[in-house]
Amino acid sequence: MLTQSSTNNITKTENQAGFLSARKAAINIPMGNAVIEGPVAGIILSGMQLSKEMDSFRQPDVQLQSLVHIAGLPRGRVYIVHKGRTIVGYVTFHLPDTCSRWHDHPRIIEIGGIEVTREWRSCHVGGTLLKFVFRDEFWENFIVIGLESFRNWDLKGSHLNVWEYRDMMDRLVQQVSFNPCFTRMYDVLEHPANALIARCGVHVSLDDWLFFKQIAARPPRSQA
């Protein structure tokens, strides 16, 4: 789906976390041609719009402002799929919140969210987007974590039950080497379909990985 000639057109952008390549590539699917790119600056995002179908987290106009905000954070990353000025898919990354159990780990970046408009999901746009992101060597220096939570799943629009949706999400993230991890996080223990997922970069030390596992196993603060 990615056009090779497009991936060779790379420009360098300075990012708050260092230098990271901003890349673009064309994708060709039944709905027509689109562009996948990132990380995208907030000023670029502010001139775009989210597809009206993208309301899994918030209303589209509110969620667009969230994307602009994330793009301006330290190590904030926003990658998008767009057709013209309309965003039809995105994935975001950011540092853990200061109140999070992960805040003290120097090698952790969180997935803030991934969403693809319903019409485009059957064309494997989500998997293509994730593969595009993790093609960059930058991510091999970090443990990237995410929360699979049934509260954010489009069960009604997908016509799947909670376990079918969980299976779909697992297959999606496993394409880029994410796997479920043991944790005592309250947000995961809240529902049996929820999961903590993690991807360990090849340059992450064993000590950093063991520290991650130690933090994941901590009980919620009320039980500590």
Q: What is the pTM of this model?
A: 0.85
pLDDT tens digits, one per residue of 99-125 = 899 999 999 999 988 999 888 888 889
Using CA atoms, how far apart are residues 29 and 3, in angstroms rounded to an integer? 12
Cis before residue 106, ω within 30 degrees of 0? Answer: no
Query: 11: which strand partners?
Result: 22
Q: How is the chain split into domains, by residue range?
A: 4-223
- Domain covering 4-223 assigned CATH 3.40.630.30 in the classification: yes
Higher pLDDT, 30 or 105: 105
Structure tokens at 123: 């064309």
To 5 degrees, how large is the angle CA 138–CA 110–CA 167?
105
Among the residue ranges 15-24, 80-89, 122-131, the one predicted with the least confidence is 15-24
CA distance linking residue 112 with residue 145, whole number of Å: 9
Confidence of residue 5 (pLDDT cuts 50, 70, 90): very low
For 163-173, write each residue's pLDDT tens digit.
999 999 999 99
Distance, in Å, from the CA atom of 147 to the CA atom of 142, rounded to the nearest integer, reads 17
